[in-house]
Amino acid sequence: MWEIIADPRNYGIEILEEGINNNRLVFPDEDRKRWAEEIDTFAAKLGGLAERAKNFQKVLAGQEKIVATPSSLKTFKVMLFKINDAMTTAMDLADSIESQIVKK
């Protein structure tokens, strides 16, 4: 058996606890299935992002010349930083989720 021990206070949503008893309940099968499908979709998107990143890397590491304006290069760099920041945030959240689903 597994238990999810996520604390709403860690996310500033402790209001969720008001009016709800804190008795444990069994995660309904229908919800588990839907959430599993959503996570599968996340995984597919990550796979697609990984493929794109590999393609970008190949273009940048290749021998063909690449031309751009300085503002285009700056914009491209900002986009890459945004992707990196989003990935870092996603990895931090995944680490948190992983630590909050414990085997009982």
pLDDT digits (tens, 9 = 90+) for 55-69: 999 999 999 999 999
SS3 percent helix, strand, coil of the chain, rounded to 5, is: 70, 5, 25
Query: pTM value?
Result: 0.72
Instruction: Name which of 38, 32, 83 is nearest 56 in CA terms.
Output: 83
Confidence class for position 27, pLDDT limits 50, 70, 90: confident
pLDDT exceeds 90 at position 24: no
pLDDT exceeds 80 at position 100: yes
93, two tokens: 């959240």
Q: What does the mean pLDDT of the chain come to? A: 89
66, two tokens: 């690449």
The predicted pLDDT at position 13 comes to 73
In the chain, where the domains are located: 2-103
pLDDT exceeds 80 at position 9: no
